Amino acid sequence: MFKVGIIGTGVIFDLNILGYLHNPDVKITALCNRTIEKAKEKIKKFNLDIKIPIYSDYRDMLDKEDLDIIEILTPHHLHSEITIYAAQKGIKAISVQKPIALNLDEADNMINACEENNSILSIYENFFFLPHIIKAKELIDSDYIGDPTSIRIKTIMASTGGWKIPENNTWRKDPKMIGGAEDGSPVLLDNGWHAFSLASWIIGEDIEKVFAWTDKFHGIDAPAYVMFKYKQKIEHVV
């Protein structure tokens, strides 16, 4: 039985916890959230053990709890420091909500820390497990449709429907917490990340160049146009 600690009990927690609840080989043994009351609400909502310890500081949790796995569901700017601290504390499997970090330096530091401490680092991407995506990957890998010359992924957003972000979720509007462009990139580092990950995984080639143009609409980085050039001259347009 693997013991799991989850850091961050915000909205995305409600989706990520389901995989653990339906896995007989793991047990959630600790929670961490800046607001203790919010973590208590999630214990009640998902009928977790009321004796599960709750921490407001991830360092305290990692110092005191004997954990095998941690799930990091925090704002982007915390991904790197939590991952590095967890690896140094001997956590053997570290799952991080996308995106990996604010920049390449942070990402490299995370990877290096995990390699040095024999920790498995996983950046969560749920789209890889969607049946129609898996089928598309199978068709391409089996050469059923021939060699792809390009892949185009469009994301269309509307003012209603879809994933509801709480109004008090202000960190997504803070460039220092969300990352990306100088004034933040909440779209490209949310839905955009799914598209980037899918294209890289489906094509399976190294990226040689990236071209991008973004605009601003009501405070978000949209519309946005991003194109990858793969080493084998395959194009990917988002």
Return the closest-CA partner of residue 88 out of 64, 118, 61. 118
pLDDT at 145: 86
- Which has more confidence, 157 or 215? 215
Q: What is the CATH number of domain 130-237?
A: 3.30.360.10
pLDDT in tens, 158-199: 666 666 666 666 776 777 777 777 777 778 888 888 888 998
pLDDT at 162: 61
Note the residue count of the chain: 238
pLDDT at 167: 60
For residues 135-154, give the mean pLDDT.
Answer: 88
pLDDT at 230: 85
pLDDT at 149: 80
Query: What percentage of the chain carries pLDDT values higher than 90?
Result: 56
What is this structure's pTM? 0.88
> What is the Cα gyration radius of the chain?
19
Long-range contacts of 199-204 (CB under 8 A, 24+ apart): 199/151, 199/153, 199/228, 199/236, 199/238, 200/228, 200/236, 201/125, 201/128, 201/137, 202/133, 202/136, 202/137, 202/140, 202/148, 202/151, 203/140, 203/148, 203/151, 203/230, 203/234, 203/236, 204/141
User: Looking at the predicted structure, is the pLDDT value of residue 19 above 90?
Assistant: yes
Query: 156-170 as b/e, with b when 16 or more CB fall inside 10 Å?
Result: eeeeeeeeeeeeeee
pLDDT in tens, 100-136: 999 999 999 999 999 999 999 999 888 899 999 999 9
pLDDT at 65: 97
Average pLDDT, whole number, for the chain? 89
Q: Is 52 exposed, middle or buried (0-12, 13-18, 19+ CB in 10 A)?
A: middle
User: Looking at the predicted structure, is the pLDDT value of residue 21 above 90?
Assistant: yes
Do 2-124 and 130-237 fold alike per CATH?
A: no
Which pair of tokens denotes residue 73?
């569901």
For residues 213-226, give the mean pLDDT.
Answer: 84
User: Looking at the predicted structure, is the pLDDT value of residue 200 above 90?
Assistant: no
pLDDT at 168: 64
pLDDT in tens, 32-54: 999 999 999 999 999 999 999 99
CATH T-level fold of 2-124: Rossmann fold (3.40.50)
pLDDT at 151: 85
For residues 195-222, give the mean pLDDT.
Answer: 86
* Domain locations along the chain: 2-124, 130-237
pLDDT at 20: 95
Report the chain's terminal Cα–Cα distance, integer Å. Answer: 41
- Which has more confidence, 85 or 103? 85
